[in-house]
Each structure stands twice: as structure tokens, then as C-alpha cells.
A and B are shown apart, each in its own frame.
Chain A
Amino acid sequence: MKSFLYKIIKVRELSILILMVAYFLFVGSINSQFTNSNTIVLLVNGSIILLVMAIGQSFVLLTANIDVSIGSIMGLSAAVCGTLLASGANLGVVVFSVICVGAVIGFVNGIGVSYLKIPAIIMTLGMLGVVRGLMLLYTKGMWIENIPNYYKKIARIEILSIPFPVWIGVFLVLIAYLFLTKTKFGRYFYAVGDNTDGAQLLGLPVNTVKVLAFILSGLSAAIAGLIFVMNIGFVSNQTGSGMELQVIAAAVLGGVALTGGMGSVIGAGLGAIFFTVINSSLVFMKIPAYWNSAISGLLLILIVVGDSRFQKYLKERSRQNQKNSLGENDREKQSKAIP
């Protein structure tokens, strides 16, 4: 029984998956169009930008920090991608430059948080503004529209009738998952967020881990920018604004704890899909669009609170079980000690 409860805690992605399927069937029972395979592929495809960024955000959240600058990073990345493509640059050069943009901004965030000890929320909130400003300066506030067709077509390439961006998402989730769970360095992210002082004392490279987390977050936002241009085909000057909160919401929905040390990228990915599902489902239930934000926000609170209560209950129970068995041992010891 004890080990069974443990397993549920370990596989907490399961509870979010079950919830998502239940919600899916619920909306499907109102409007059967929601559950047909086309809609599903469309929903997953629509969630990829959120999903990619949620992966990057998970690294930062695991170390008990937060990165709210990613909306702007995605916007700037998309703008750089758009202008380079429009100027006829080679695809390799474009991808490389965009990725550099994300990594460098992430690096600056990381240095600020780990070495200069600036609280992550301040550092990245400032960076959110700075990068948004840079984007406007860079594009002079103009939309970028003349994206070459070959690039837009990449989004429509289908492998096994699944669109290319979805494959990128799947690939990134797998890589991140393997890195975090199967390598020693990956485990450090959990350790740093779980108990920073403890990690320091064990000689773990705490600062390096934090910097890397922010670099990965910036990188993920850059990749999201690349996918955005591919999917949408133009870059407005508001691209990516407000995304940071959606990403954090998605990660939390998937069970990544804001307090650090807990969660997985698979959970974060599922959270991103679930978040998109909730947002799109309202249309299928024929609820007027004005209700959208209010209802999806409310659902987010309900689901996250419900899930965390449930997890807490499970943990309490397993703790209780162990206390009971422990107490008996102690009593035995005591009765032995007294002749």
C-alpha cells in the first residue's frame, strides 16, 4: 500500500493526464466535433509554442526561480527570424542567430540571478521590458510580413500525418526528460531547487546550474519564436506579449512546483496541452468569446488547487503510515531499554 501511494506521487503526470482525458470527454459529450482526430491534431499543434516554452520554464522553476522575460524573448526571436528570412538569409544562419539571441538573453538573466543575487522575478521582469523595447527598436515598431513561402511550408510538412512542429515538441520533451532524469547533471536541477544550501554543501555547482536553467529557458523561447513565424507567417510588434504567464500557468498545471524541486517536463508538456484544450474548448461549447479568459482562469485555479490538495492528502497519508510504524519501533526500543 505504502509503495503504491509512492508510485502515484512519483507518476503525478498520471493524474493530470486522467483529468485532461475526463475534461476532453466532457466537452466531447456536448459537442462531438471536439473529439474527432482532426481537432485533436489541431489542438496539439496549437499548443506547441506553449509546450516548448514550458519545457524551458520547467528548468528554471525546478531551481526555485522564475523567468517572466520569455514572452519578450520569443517576440524578439520571431522578429530576428522574420527580418533575416525576409532579407534572404540562409536557413541555417537564421536558426543559429535566433538561438544565439535566446541563449545570450538567458545567460544574462542567469548571471544576474546567480552571481549578482538579484531576485529572479525582478531580474526577468526588468528583462521583459528591456527585450520588448529592443524588439520595437529593432523593427521600428513595424510588422514583418514578407516571410518566404518555403519557411511557412515547413509547418505544413507532415510525418506520419503529424505536423512537423509537433515532432519538434515531442523531440524536445524527450531530450529534456532524459537529461533531467537519467544524467547526474540533470538531477542537480532538482537538488538546487529542493534545498539550495544543501546542494552547496555537497559541492554541487549551484550557480552554473542556475545560469544553465535560464539559458535553456531563453533557448526554448527562441525556438518558440522560430515555430511562431513558421505557423503564423508574420510577426506583429506585440508577438509573445503575455505568453510568460500562460507558460508559467501551463507548467504549474502540469505539476511543476513554483517552490522548486518538484515536477517533470512531461508534466509541463501535458500542462501546456491541457491549457490549450481548456482555452479552445469554450468555443466548442458555444460559450461567447467574452467569457473565455474568466472561465479558463477559473478552471486553472480549480484544477491546480484540486490537484495540489490531492497530492498533499497522499503525502500526509504516506507520512502518517510511516510515523505509525516508526512509533512502534521506538516504543519497542524504549521498553527494551527499561529493565
Chain B
Amino acid sequence: MSEEYLLEIEDLHKQFNGNHVLSGINFTLKKGEIYAVVGGNGAGKSTLMKIITGLYKADSGEMEISGKRVRFANPNDAHKNGIYLVPQEPLVFPNMTIEENITMGLKGIGKPKELRKKILQVINRVGWSIDISRLGLTLSIAEQQLVEILRGLVREAQILILDEPTSTLTHNEIDSLFDTIRQLSDNGIGIIYITHRFSEIFELSHSVAVLRDGKISAQGPISEFSYKRLLDGLVPTNEQPSNNITQKKSVIQSSIEQIGATVLEIDSLCGNKFQDISFSLREGEILGIAGVVGAGRTELAEAICGIKKFNSGTIKLNGKRIKNLSIRKVMDLGLAYVPEDRHAHGIFNITSVRKNITSTILNRLNGLFIPITKENEITKKYVNDLKIKAEGTNQELSDLSGGNQQKVVLAKYLATEPKVIILDEPTRGIDASARADIYRIINQLKERGLAVLLISSDTEEIVELSDRVLVMQEGKINKEIEKEKLTVDNITSAAFGVKKDVIS
């Protein structure tokens, strides 16, 4: 076989307990190539990457690095062959300096002084400025990712695997990460880029592979791909959500008819991370709140639903002022907040779907014991309504995919029968088809006359769903955009405080 490929994988198979996780993967990576890999949760992306980096062994199939046949027993073997994986959640040692973080586990390479020189050289080459004596715990997530990349480069990696590197980064950070990736590619390093976001694929990569059910369903240079073809590769044709454009039109029409009376009124609300926020929300309306991470959106939501205290201003729910009420009272009055961090605040991981869904309404299920039939009815209703895929209502949450977990979280708050629902990053970290489901659910809620406050960092999501958008910047509402003027550009420029319309 030829030597022009950095990495060549042929007919790779892998089973877990009789389940074919990977069946017949063929994949090649050239020098300096940025190769995007997409696929839903459970499509086999991470298994493939774990085989490439030596954490798993393949059942059958060949792998060649620069024309040399290899077989890895552990990550060390992969490092020796110039492969380094930057995990989705950077794994730095918080109590060690950057330098120690990078050199940890390096074998047989010179004295500390020479090593430090090498690290500084690499940092210089990619044009960063970072003080290598800082402790791991002082680093932002973006910086931790840089440290991970440095780890790979100091190990003289020729192939870098980046696993959804942008999922926790802010806009600015993503831009500078992309610059870095392009620079690395110019230096001849091959990059495998795993992502859920289509826009990134078209912006960054040279080639793309779509994984579905352990097979590559579409593969090739990016020039041969369109959004449509990517989506076709990702979702089997018969399961595809109905065409977005027609859906959107119908939503616009219905939205005009359905928006009703004002249910939530916020007047000059001030808190720790936000100042002077005023807006109102009506029945059947989806109000988007856009902004960069740290703009104060989550803090605002937490103040509205009573988790955090605010300093001044008023919140009126159905014309009644709410202040200093317990979260339970606020919920009983018809306001539900679906939190941003699913794992930390959303789900009860080791208990059943049923107990998760009814956890918010236990006080409403009257009787000495919990009425089992009623509980089951409620659970079934939401499992059917939201199309939660689970092996029965007794399955533990930890066994569900991220998308289904998110649906359970939604169900749990919908069970309180709210009038107003605040969704904080409802589609973070879930795959494309689950995302489409969540969008469908949100639109259904709207049709049923719920008022929805949608907080999201995914600007495309905001544009797709919202009737009206407030853009927050550094704790203030910077701009309000009506449905007709809603574009990604408009929101982005407002989120970063650029007054485009003034300039042009």
C-alpha cells in the first residue's frame, strides 16, 4: 500500500457482547488533512477513536501508520506512533503546573531543561502565549484544550484527534481554536475532527465521513457535500424530520394567530450578573435569549424562577408579583426552569424513567402511598408524547442516550403543567436526530399555548425556533430582534456588541 497516507484503516470490525459496534470501517487520512467525523450518539465514533488510540482492540481489520502495519495494546503505543487524542472534556491535572501536565508520562526524553525548551518551542511555533508555570485549576476550558494539544505536539504527534472540541467553548475561543487547527494542518499534521455541528464541518474541514450504526454511510471531500447530503447520511431517509423550510413557514403563520395574553412580565430586574432587564412574554410565544457564554443568561433565568436572589426590579407571573417564593411555589404557580447542565441538575441518574418524570409532582400525587396507577398513566403519557426511547418506564436514566435523557428532563418539568417554561441550552451535547425531536416538542408546546423562554448559545437554534430574540451582552439586553429580521449574523454581531447597522 502507498505511503502517502498518514493513517489508513481497512475493514475494521468491533463487537461488544455480540453487538456490532463497528462493521467494516475504511478510512484514510493524509498529511495536513482536516477530516471531520460526524454521527449520532452510539454511531460508533468514540469506539473508532478508542481503537485508533489503543484504548480498545479491534476484532479484525488492518491499521497502517505511514505505510507501516500497526496494532496498539495501549495509549502509549499510539503515542509512540504519533497519534494523540484530545478528549471532549480536557483531562488536565488540576494540582499540577502546565509544564508538569505536559511532561507527565513522557518517557526517555532528555532533561527537564531540554524538555522545557521544547515545550516553549512548540508554543512559539503555534503562536500562543501562555505561562507554563500556571496551575491546571486556573485554566479556562479553552486553555485546558490548548494544554491537551500541546501534550500531543510535544509527543511529536502526527495525527491529532479532536473530540467535539467546541462544545464548551465561547465564540471567540472557537475562532482562535480554528486558527490553531488550520496552522497545525499547514504544518503537515493530520487532524481527525469529531463534531455535531454541521457549520463547523463546512468551515474547517477538507474531508468528511458520516458514521451511522457502525458503518460509514457517506464519505469524501467536503466539496462533494451539502447540508442535505450530510443529513441524508446521518438519518435514514424514512425517519427524517419533515422539511425544515415548510415547517418554519407554518410556524410563522400559526405564531401570528396563537400569541395570546402576557403571562410573564419582567421589569428592570437587577442582580449580580445582570442589570436592568425588562421584557414580557406572552402565551404561545417563543422568546429566544442569545448571547455569549458568561453574558448572564443563566443567572437571569435562575433569578426568575427563584433559585438565586435578585437585587431589585419585579417579576410578574400572570399579573401576580413573585418574590422570595420557594422554587416549589414558583413551580406550582406555573413556571418551570429546565436547567442547562443535564448531568448536574437535570436527571436522577440511577433511578427509573418513571421516578424521574414524577419527581417534580410527588406532592400533587395525593394519598398515603404514591398512587401507582396514576403515576404510571402520567409517565406513559409523556413517554409517548415526547417519544422517549426506553426499554419500559423502569429503565435507569444512566442507560439512556443523551437525547433521551434530555427528553426525560423535559417531561419532568412538563409534568408540573407549567404556563411558562424556561429552557436553558435544551440541545447541548445531543445528536442531530434527537435535536430535531426536541425542536418538534418545543414547537408543540408553543402550539399548546405555553410561553417559552429559550436560552441557547447555538445561534442557528435560536433563529430556527424563536418568534422574537433578546440578545444579552455583559449582563444587559443589547438588542431586541423581531422575527422578520432574525438572522444568525444579526444575533452574532449584537452578542459581541458590534453595531453593524450603525457602521453600514
Q: Spell out A's residues near B (CB within 8 Å).
A: 3, 6, 9, 184, 187-188, 190-191, 194-195, 197-204, 261-262, 315, 318-319, 322-323, 326, 330, 333-334, 338
**A257 nearest CB neighbor, chain B only:** B95
Q: Given A6-B133, A190-B93, A194-B93 in contact, is the A338-B138 Cβ separation under 8 Å?
A: no
**B74 nearest CB neighbor, chain A only:** A203
Q: Given A201-B85, A203-B105, A322-B138 in contact, is the A195-B91 Cβ separation under 8 Å?
A: yes
Q: How far is the CA of A9 from the CA of B137 in the complex (A)?
A: 13
Q: How far is the CB of A11 from chain B (nearest CB, A)?
A: 14
In the complex, which residues of chain B have a beta carbon less than 8 angstroms from the beta carbon of A323? Answer: 138
In the complex, which residues of chain A have a beta carbon less than 8 angstroms from the beta carbon of B94? Answer: 194-195, 261
A187-B100, A194-B93, A326-B140 known; 10 new pairs, CB 8 Å cut-off, are A188-B104, A195-B93, A198-B93, A200-B75, A201-B53, A201-B85, A203-B75, A204-B105, A319-B138, A322-B138
B138 and A318 form a contact (CB under 8 A)? yes
Show 16 A/B contacts (Cβ-Cβ < 8 Å), sorted by A.
A9-B135, A190-B96, A191-B104, A195-B91, A197-B91, A199-B93, A199-B104, A200-B75, A201-B53, A201-B87, A202-B105, A203-B76, A203-B105, A333-B172, A334-B496, A338-B496
For window 44-67 of B, CB contacts with A under 8 Å fall at 53, 55
- When each residue 117-139 of chain B gets 1 if its CB lies under 8 Å from chain A and 0 otherwise, what string results? 00000000000000001111110
Identify whether the interface residues of B are mostly helix, strand, loop, or mixed.
loop
In the complex, which residues of chain A have a beta carbon less than 8 angstroms from the beta carbon of B85? Answer: 201
Q: How far is the CB of B299 from chain A (nearest CB, A)?
A: 17
B96 and A315 form a contact (CB under 8 A)? no
B29 CB–A CB distance under 8 Å: no
**B54 nearest CB neighbor, chain A only:** A203
In the complex, which residues of chain A have a beta carbon less than 8 angstroms from the beta carbon of B93? Answer: 190-191, 194-195, 198-199, 261
Q: How far is the CA of A315 from the CA of B85 in the complex (A)?
A: 30
Q: How far is the CB of B199 from chain A (nearest CB, A)?
A: 19
- State which of B75, B134, B140, B172 has its C-beta within 8 Å of the C-beta of A202: B75
Q: How far is the CA of A6 from the CA of B138 in the complex (A)?
A: 12
B410 CB–A CB distance under 8 Å: no
B137 and A191 form a contact (CB under 8 A)? no
B104 and A204 form a contact (CB under 8 A)? yes
In the complex, which residues of chain B have a beta carbon less than 8 angstroms from the beta carbon of A190? Answer: 93, 95-96
Q: How far is the CA of A188 from the CA of B103 in the complex (A)?
A: 11
B95 and A194 form a contact (CB under 8 A)? yes
Q: How far is the CA of A145 from the CA of B93 in the complex (A)?
A: 50
In the complex, which residues of chain A have a beta carbon less than 8 angstroms from the beta carbon of B87? Answer: 197, 201
Give the tally of cross-chain contacts (CB within 8 A).
Answer: 72
B196 CB–A CB distance under 8 Å: no
In the complex, which residues of chain B have a beta carbon less than 8 angstroms from the beta carbon of A318? Answer: 135, 138
Q: How far is the CB of A213 from chain B (nearest CB, A)?
A: 17
In the complex, which residues of chain B have a beta carbon less than 8 angstroms from the beta carbon of A197? Answer: 87, 91
B150 CB–A CB distance under 8 Å: no
Query: For this complex, into which size category does the number of interface residues on chain B fall?
Result: 20 to 34
B70 CB–A CB distance under 8 Å: no
Q: How far is the CA of A65 from the CA of B332 in the complex (A)?
A: 44
Q: How far is the CA of A201 from the CA of B101 in the complex (A)?
A: 12
Q: How far is the CB of B152 from chain A (nearest CB, A)?
A: 10
Q: Given A191-B105, A202-B75, A203-B79 in contact, is the A262-B498 Cβ separation under 8 Å?
A: no
Q: Given A330-B172, A334-B172 in contact, is the A199-B105 Cβ separation under 8 Å?
A: yes
B442 CB–A CB distance under 8 Å: no
Q: How far is the CB of A192 from chain B (nearest CB, A)?
A: 10
In the complex, which residues of chain A have a beta carbon less than 8 angstroms from the beta carbon of B159? Answer: none
**A319 nearest CB neighbor, chain B only:** B138
**A204 nearest CB neighbor, chain B only:** B105
In the complex, which residues of chain B have a beta carbon less than 8 angstroms from the beta carbon of A198? Answer: 91-93
Q: How far is the CA of A20 from the CA of B92 in the complex (A)?
A: 34
Q: How far is the CA of A227 from the CA of B78 in the complex (A)?
A: 47
In the complex, which residues of chain B have a beta carbon less than 8 angstroms from the beta carbon of A322? Answer: 134, 138
B151 CB–A CB distance under 8 Å: yes
Q: How far is the CA of A197 from the CA of B95 in the complex (A)?
A: 15
B104 and A187 form a contact (CB under 8 A)? yes
Q: How far is the CB of A318 from chain B (nearest CB, A)?
A: 7
Q: How far is the CA of A226 from the CA of B60 in the complex (A)?
A: 55
Q: Given A187-B104, A322-B138, A334-B172 in contact, is the A194-B133 Cβ separation under 8 Å?
A: no
In the complex, which residues of chain B have a beta carbon less than 8 angstroms from the beta carbon of A204? Answer: 104-105
- State which of A194, A201, A203 has its C-beta within 8 Å of the C-beta of B96: A194
In the complex, which residues of chain B have a beta carbon less than 8 angstroms from the beta carbon of A200? Answer: 75
Q: How far is the CB of A249 from chain B (nearest CB, A)?
A: 22
In the complex, which residues of chain A have a beta carbon less than 8 angstroms from the beta carbon of B79? Answer: 202-203
Q: How far is the CB of A230 from chain B (nearest CB, A)?
A: 37
In the complex, which residues of chain B have a beta carbon less than 8 angstroms from the beta carbon of A261? Answer: 93-95
In the complex, which residues of chain A have a beta carbon less than 8 angstroms from the beta carbon of B136? Answer: 194
In the complex, which residues of chain B have a beta carbon less than 8 angstroms from the beta carbon of A187? Answer: 100, 104
- When each residue 71-85 of chain B gets 1 if its CB lies under 8 Å from chain A and 0 otherwise, what string results? 000111011000001
- When each residue 91-113 of chain B gets 1 if its CB lies under 8 Å from chain A and 0 otherwise, what string results? 11111100010001101000000
**A194 nearest CB neighbor, chain B only:** B93
A315 and B105 form a contact (CB under 8 A)? no
List of 3 A-B pairs having minimum Cβ-Cβ separation, nearest first: A198-B91, A203-B76, A202-B105
In the complex, which residues of chain A have a beta carbon less than 8 angstroms from the beta carbon of B133? Answer: 3, 6
**B170 nearest CB neighbor, chain A only:** A330
In the complex, which residues of chain A have a beta carbon less than 8 angstroms from the beta carbon of B53? Answer: 201
In the complex, which residues of chain B have a beta carbon less than 8 angstroms from the beta carbon of A191? Answer: 93, 96, 104-105
Q: How far is the CA of A191 from the CA of B137 in the complex (A)?
A: 14
Q: How far is the CB of B492 from chain A (nearest CB, A)?
A: 12
Q: How far is the CB of A64 from chain B (nearest CB, A)?
A: 11
Q: Given A190-B93, A204-B104 in contact, is the A338-B498 Cβ separation under 8 Å?
A: yes
Q: How far is the CA of A3 from the CA of B134 in the complex (A)?
A: 10
Q: How far is the CB of B292 from chain A (nearest CB, A)?
A: 11
In the complex, which residues of chain B have a beta carbon less than 8 angstroms from the beta carbon of A184? Answer: 107
In the complex, which residues of chain A have a beta carbon less than 8 angstroms from the beta carbon of B74? Answer: 203
Of the listed residues A9, A194, A319, the one surrounded by the most CB atoms of chain B closer than 10 A to its CB is: A194
Q: How far is the CA of A198 from the CA of B94 in the complex (A)?
A: 11
Q: How far is the CA of A244 from the CA of B226 in the complex (A)?
A: 65
In the complex, which residues of chain A have a beta carbon less than 8 angstroms from the beta carbon of B134? Answer: 322
In the complex, which residues of chain B have a beta carbon less than 8 angstroms from the beta carbon of A188? Answer: 104-105
